[in-house]
Amino acid sequence: MNGLIQSKKCKYMAKRFLGEESFGRVLQCVKLDTFETVAVKVAERECDRMLWKEAGAVKKMSALDKDRCNLLKYYKIFEYKYCAFISMEMLDISLHYFLNQRYRHPLALFEIQVILKQMLVALSTLKSIGIMHADIKPDNIMLVNQSRQPFKVKLIDFGYATPPVNIPCGAIIQALGYRAPEVMLGIPVTESADMWALGSVAAFLYFGYHLFIHMLGQPNDRILEKGKHSKKYFWKRKGIMKDTWVLKTPAQYSVSTGTVIKRSKTITCMEDLAKHHPQPNTESEVEDTVAFLSLLKWMLCVDPVKRITPVEGLGHRFITVKHLPEVPAVDCYAESSRMSMKVCPPLSLENEIENFVTSSEIIKSENRAEEDLDCLPLLTTARLQLKSKETDRKEQLHATTISLYLVGLHGMQKMTCLVGWVSKKHMI
């Protein structure tokens, strides 16, 4: 592929096909006047209007510092041979592709931590200018340069980005696996739907697979009564005092819609989610797991009004890592977590975040204590497993020490070599 693409001021040489975004294909190109490598999206002819709509959203973001806000940089939009093109910065690979490269092996918590922090900054920035992304998914979160800046990410593809007031009530937006309950039920949508989608992305990174999330209870009657599509998923059971909304069984849903439901992994509670992830190895990792599940619960709150906001998320302890030891040498996990955070640009919302941290437990979340108690069985189990691991290691180390003593009777040099090998192998 060596096709020429030309705008009024410069020419681009197309080098290879990168993939597809909403309403268009993306090509890797070389800008011939500067020899800079860029990405160029070309819209199908019938989708030109959508690309110009994306350009409108990009214009609203023009004053933002894209690197600081973790948003994709757009350069120019132009027409060539009756097609619309938009040039943008060249990034590495998407989180979806990255996970596929790892054979869907879940990310470590501190890796999810740094990704979430950057995306919360991006969403808080979009919310500040009255825009929702409306298509958050692993394909639209890209690593900038994984080899040089591990887990430095940016949010891409603003083809659906729009002010929430422009989204008709009942309109279907967002990818299915990341679609917020209010979208599915057909009630008015706000930027809060992006937080649900980001929570679903976090669960995907933690687990390695797409999940059917059915863990936080059903929406309350107020939400269900307002929903245009509520009867697609729920039915009303007649009662003496009042009717009750009941979630349809898979069989009932199939009968009413004609849709065959495929079996998938279903998570009914946070503890179930943690069972499918490698067990924590240190006390800090146990605490971090509980903090992560706490944040995830707030992001996947079925009531959009109660769902945590991006700025509030930045003040959550999983993102601030204030629950981890201050002295890195005490815990290798805590050190890894703090080191990974160095890729994040300095925040410009520090005062706002501090205010949330000091007041949220009283004002925003009356049930914060109950929320942490939900994770108590996980915390207890993980600590017991951690204690068991430490006991096994100590017993193994003790047995090895005895054998080393016996070897030492036959030669100190051989014992010295073995001690070095044991200290590395049994390092906690």
Enter the tokens of residue 123.
Answer: 């969403």
Catalytic residue among 33, 92, 135, 372: 135
DSSP letter, residue 61 = T
Give the integer Cα–Cα distance in Å for 87 and 12: 9
CATH superfamily of 4-89: Phosphorylase Kinase; domain 1 (3.30.200.20)
Task: List, in order, residues 6 or more apart from 411 with CB less than 8 Å away.
Answer: none
Model pTM score: 0.82
Catalytic residue at 139?
no
Q: What is the spatial distance between Cα 108 and Cα 113, in angstroms, rounded to a whole number?
A: 9
Backbone angles phi and psi of 86, in degrees to 5: -140, 125
The whole-angstrom separation of Cα 85 and Cα 52 is 9
* pLDDT tens-place string over residues 288-321: 999 999 999 999 999 999 999 999 999 999 999 8
CA-CA-CA-CA torsion sign (215, 222, 227, 171): negative
**147-189: pLDDT as tens digits:** 999 999 999 999 899 999 999 999 999 998 899 999 999 999 9
Domain with CATH 3.30.200.20 in the chain: 4-89
**Ranges in the chain annotated CATH 1.10.510.10:** 95-374
Enter the tokens of residue 29. Answer: 């190109």
14 three-class SS = strand
Which CATH number describes the domain made up of 95-374?
1.10.510.10
Query: What does the pLDDT look like over 202-253, one tens digit per residue?
Result: 999 998 877 665 556 788 888 999 999 999 999 999 888 888 999 888 889 8
What is the secondary structure of 120-184 as a DSSP string? Answer: HHHHHHHHHTT-B-S--SGGGEEEEETTTEEEEEEE---SS-B-GGGS-TT---S-GGG--HHHH
Q: Which of 293, 297, 318 is nearest to 306 (CA)?
A: 297
Q: Which helix (DSSP H) or strand (DSSP E) does residue 17 occupy?
A: strand 11-21
Write out pLDDT tens, residues 327-386. Answer: 655 678 888 888 888 888 777 655 556 434 433 334 434 444 444 555 555 555 555 555
